[in-house]
Amino acid sequence: MSAALAKLVNISDVSVVASGQGRVILDNVSIDVDAGEVVAIVGESGSGKSTLARATIGLLPRGVHVSAGRIEVAGVEPALLDERELRSLRGRTTGMVFQEPMSALNPTMPVGQQLTEVCRTHLGMSRGEADERAATMLERVRIRDPKAALRRYPHEFSGGMRQRLMLAAALLHQPKLLIADEPTTALDVIVQREVLELMTELVREIGAALMLVTHDLAVVAAYAQRVAVLDAGRRVDWGPVADVVLNPREAHVERLLAALPTGRRGNMQKTGATAPPVLEIEQLCVTYPGRRKLPWSPRVDRVALQSVTLNVDAGETLAVVGESGSGKSSLARVLVRLLRPASGCVKFAGHDLAQVRGAKLRELRRELQIVFQDPASALDPRMSIFEVVAEGLAPSALGDRAEARRRVAALLLEVGLEERFLEMLPHQLSGGQRQRVCIARALAAQPRVLVADEAVSALDLSVQSRILALIERLQLKHGFACIFVTHNLAVAERIADRVVVLYRGELVECGTTAEVLDRPSHPYTRALLAASLELGPIAPGKYGLRARAAHAATPTDSIIS
């Protein structure tokens, strides 16, 4: 194959601006992607990663446009195509996995109809052929009972499951270029590895290219050949992964690597050994209504949580880990009374949450705050960022608008957002910036319990590190408990006093961070640890991938060549 044909994507001196604001989002960026190659795009939230990915296939939002430079995909310039030709390019040549799957999936259509649309429209398949290919792909991305899944709606899947649906949709028509914008953000390490292996396998099989937008430098080190690093819209480094990440030469890359989760939080020092737990979870069961295969068939409910018993102490951080669909988010929602249990109970400050009503429930809810996994769905698109965060303030604080504005600005600053964001709307922010707004809103209420459902999964390493440090600092100051739902074992190790492992709705392991991560007793926990790759220093100025020997009595590191 000639060099000209091998160059699948050419992005040359591209600048992107937001017309209404006159703001430069990308400034003179150049990269290229060869057929069969994996190229990673990394950078902090708001650096322009997702904008570069969208510009590549002509998917920039209204009011944002390419002001200079040239983009070619498979020899075609998307900027010169009309809407019909653009749809054909996206349907035949490219596939994209978006960062926020709930926003990308139509909530009114069964997932099967959405998955097979490309195959039927652009590949001319019959409904039966398209359904068969979709079911096969769902099986490859580990969706249980794939044929039944085709009939379900997006809201019936967990966040991680929805991300897998998006991957299946993007891979169905075997595109020449796959653009994946944070494709494994919501996935546990086992499925993350399987999905990344699946994507790279496709690249090898059909000579496709993969543009991987991510903040996970371990993923970059393991799977990418070349990497572009963006900072404030400019390309600050570009080249082979070994030169850019493993042997960093730019100060910005060194700062990102310095923010990798390291160390271990010491076990919580209890100030009162006889103090009652702030949350008591007793024999908790959660089910979701099932579907009838036929109108006269019995309905079989789906079990999300089964007989979970657990206590959470004031000031404690409890990490909840497990695969997508294991019941982590269901547990988080039950704890803040957004979901009623089928049986069992959750007691907060001595009250059975399922039995509380009216003013008392509103009072307790202020003390039970949650940060949701999908920030785009959690923010009202019509409200400014000031109005969103001010919702969390006590009603008495809203009478003086100047004081409320000062307090909201201070909260935004604590989560790494400047005062200029106050008057913006959610759609004007990146995914990571929206997640920071959700965290600020939850902290505004000064809760006794903070439930964080994958709260830092969408954040770049430097902001992730600041948010974890912020939660630790506020815990020391206010003594609230934190239930931290995560699939990132390094984050769990950094922040948690205890770790709970869920597997298919059952609590299979619970103990101190050291007990669970150093001496796991359940096979699933050992599998999680074995699949986890961490990037860390191996010598001054050098980094390497480290795998933990999960079966050992003490952790050991080995460098993966």
pLDDT higher than threshold 50 for residue 404 = yes
pLDDT higher than threshold 60 for residue 214 = yes
**Full-model pTM:** 0.76
What are the tokens at 546? 């480290």
How do residues 14-49 score in pLDDT, each as one tens digit?
999 987 767 899 999 999 999 889 999 998 878 899
pLDDT higher than threshold 70 for residue 345 = yes
pLDDT higher than threshold 60 for residue 145 = yes
Lowest-pLDDT choice from 137-151, 246-260, 500-514, 535-549: 535-549
Multiple choice CATH, 3-258, 3.40.50.300, 3.40.50.720, 3.90.1300.10, 3.40.120.10: 3.40.50.300
Longest alpha-carbon distance in the chain: 74
Q: What is the pLDDT of residue 102?
A: 66
Higher pLDDT: 8 or 301? It is: 8
Whole-number percent of the chain with pLDDT over 70:
91
Rounded-to-integer distance, Cα 306 and Cα 150, Å: 25
CATH topology identical between 3-258 and 279-518: yes
**Mean pLDDT of the 278-283 span:** 92
Q: What is the pLDDT of residue 263?
A: 63
Q: What is the pLDDT of residue 552?
A: 39
What residue spans define the domains of the chain? 3-258, 279-518
Q: What is the pLDDT of residue 449?
A: 94
β-pair partners for 38: 210
Whole-number percent of the chain with pLDDT over 90:
31
Q: Which residues of 335-367 are buried (b: 16+ CB within 10 A; e: fewer)?
A: bbbebebeebbbbbbeeebeebeeeeeeebbeb
How do residues 99-139 score in pLDDT, each as one tens digit?
766 677 888 899 889 888 878 887 788 888 888 888 988 88
Rounded-to-integer distance, Cα 72 and Cα 56, Å: 8
Q: Which residue shows structure tokens 């770049």?
A: 460
- Identify whether the C-beta of residue 235 lies closer than 8 Å to the C-beta of residue 207: no
Helix ranges, 321-445 (H): 328-335, 358-367, 375-378, 385-390, 401-414, 431-444
CA dihedral sign of residues 184, 187, 190, 195: negative
Multiple choice CATH, 279-518, 3.40.50.1100, 3.40.50.720, 3.20.20.70, 3.40.50.300: 3.40.50.300
What are the tokens at 213? 């937008």
Q: What's the DSSP call for residue 476? A: H
Q: What is the pLDDT of residue 4?
A: 42
Lowest-pLDDT choice from 132-146, 267-281, 343-357, 379-393: 267-281
Higher pLDDT: 65 or 266? It is: 65
